[in-house]
Structure 1
């Protein structure tokens, strides 16, 4: 099969490309970075260098393909995340329609359909084709964004550790924490990008008549249990995951100079996870869990953690 993979050589797209190439498919990888051409070729795929904001480029790249995997990389520089997601999704939809693609696998998220303005899935309803929507849980790789908090480094890390751990942190020197307006004993489905890649590779070879939805997860646990796994891997077995109010989370994001509308969207996403609605939907579909557990990822995380000291 001729398969197009968007997302360059990201956490999902790289292992996905490797899987598809190993299966003998002709794979084209879309990337905006010309420097990635050599690596894409080394993997055994064909580079297509251009922007997903360019509908004409996407259309020309998609033509003749049997299946396309579409994803939209999150951008924290966009002031309005919802508008950005829908704009790129519309580009994809127009290009897929013009190129007459018969099989599409779309990366969404397990909270996307529950957050105002973030749901892009309906944009693909106009396609007269076979579409599968992937709804993965919370990525293991999101922990990288909290590395400074875990270390207790920098002004924000030290301020928040003292703010929420107080005298205990001062007396013991045991700094670092995780936090969000979901956390504590909230139960969350975490997922490895490698398990998402495996699931996408399976779906690309199928051709359901109607639009289908597939949830993807690797392991379900409370946020505090996840904090213990990550903490144990980096020599901080006391690590905990503090549950903030929506108001506190929004204030923290603004302190970090996140654009206001983007901050509001991020808070809403986490609030939905705290509500349990995402977990309820996940269980309704009863998906099989992937192979990569958090303790496996924690080993990789620890390597990066210590290297960045």
Structure 2
């Protein structure tokens, strides 16, 4: 993509794995980046601070963060989305890249917040808008699913079927693609851009790969949802988030089609799960 320099770009969730990668790449490319994160002094529940952050900008990377402790996950997502769209509308931004989910078209579970944000942004009539629909994050194994903690017992459990292929993507690859879109001189005409990641793996395969990388023999176990839900709630996750994750797992387990496209070179990204697992093992050993 040909690059157009000197944009002022807002990055929502600038301290997340994807947002940090977007910010670094845009800054290196010569753009002015305004990061939105509570630790940066701009919280997503502060409408006036959001208005200031978006004012005078021409582009933005946008995402709806998960709050795993929210008593009502979808109400939280709806409120965040409304505030962001209000600020974007007031600022008159021209270009938006929204991080969405590969299964957002199903409008359910953990992808519902992104799906509703797609609709909110579409209603603004923006000149340039892309829904970057990304596969299941590889990072979820560590941050959300507790692989390292579970691996100590020799069994990794989740409510997802272990025998169905799941497309997996590294966060930094999403950040790279989002930054390229925001920097591009010629923006794509199509609104939905799918990212299938570095390949599809069953959770049984992924468990073996990640276990071997950290030097452990780990087996995969598909946990009944009631068992998985109780474990999540015991670990501080809200019942609302657990139930949304349960909807997503049930959809996957039924074999519902998460992607609209077949895998291609265009929707693939460079980091394989094997390479990501080796990097995790190195950082785990160093820690």
TM range (shorter): 0.7 to 0.9
1:196 aligns with 2:167: no
Larger deviation, residues 123-132 vs 226-235? 123-132
In structure 2, the partner of 1:158 is none
Aligned equivalent of 1:161? none
Q: Give the C-alpha shift of residue 208 in structure 1.
A: 4.5
Relative to structure 1, the CA distance from residue 222 to residue 209 in structure 2 (aligned partners, 3 Å threshold; closer, same or farther) is closer
Q: What is the CA–CA distance in structure 1 between the aligned matches of 2:210 and 2:160, rounded to whole Å?
A: 17
CA contact (8 A) 2:72 2:240 kept: yes
CA distance in 1, matches of 2:221, 2:277: 19
Q: Tell me the residue number matched to 2:221.
A: 242
Mapped contact 1:110–1:278 kept (Cα < 8 A): no
Query: CA, structure 1 residues 209+281, in 2 after alignment: closer, same or farther (shift >3 Å)?
Result: closer
Please tell me whether residue 67 in structure 1 is matched to residue 67 in structure 2. no
Q: 2:65 matched to 1:82? A: no
Aligned to 1:133: 131
1:225 correspondence with 2:220: no
Cα offsets for 1:136-179 (capped at 9, x unmatched): 11111111131211122xxxxxxxxxxxxxxxxxxxxxxx2222
CA distance in 2, matches of 1:18, 1:111: 28
The aligned residue for residue 13 of structure 2 is 7
Residue 289 of structure 1 pairs with residue 268 of structure 2: yes
* CA displacement at 1:271 relative to structure 2: 1.8
Distance 1:305 1:282, change over 3 A: farther
Which is helix-richer, 1 or 2?
Answer: 1
TM (norm. structure 2) is 0.85
Partner of 2:280: 301
Q: Secondary structure at the match of 1:107?
A: strand
> Is 1:93 aligned with 2:85?
yes
Taking the aligned partners of 1:259 and 1:209, their CA distance within structure 2 comes to 39
Alpha-carbon contact 1:187-1:279 (below 8 Å) kept: no
Structure label with greater radius of gyration: 1
What's the CA shift for 1:255?
4.0
> TM-score, structure 1 length as denominator?
0.79
Separation in structure 2 between the aligned mates of residue 209 and residue 296 of structure 1, nearest angstrom:
33
Cα displacement (A) at 1:307: 4.9
Q: Which has the higher contact order (CA 8 A, sep 6+)?
A: 2
Residues 166 and 201 in structure 2, CA contact (< 8 A), matched pair in contact too: yes
Per the TM alignment, residue 287 of structure 1 is displaced from its structure 2 partner at its CA by 4.5
Q: Residue 20 of structure 1 is aligned with which of 26, 34, 39?
A: 26
Aligned to 1:30: 36
**Is residue 68–residue 104 contact of structure 1 (8 Å, CA) maintained in 2?**
yes
Helix, strand or coil for the counterpart of 2:101? coil
Q: Counterparts of 1:239-278 in structure 2 under 5 Å? A: 239-278=218-257
* Offset from partner CA, 1:233-291 (integer Å, 9 cap, x none): 0112x322212333333343344453222221111122222233244435388852111
Q: Contact 1:195–1:218 at 8 Å: present in 2 too?
A: no
Give the 3-state SS of the residue equivalent to 2:17 in structure 1.
coil
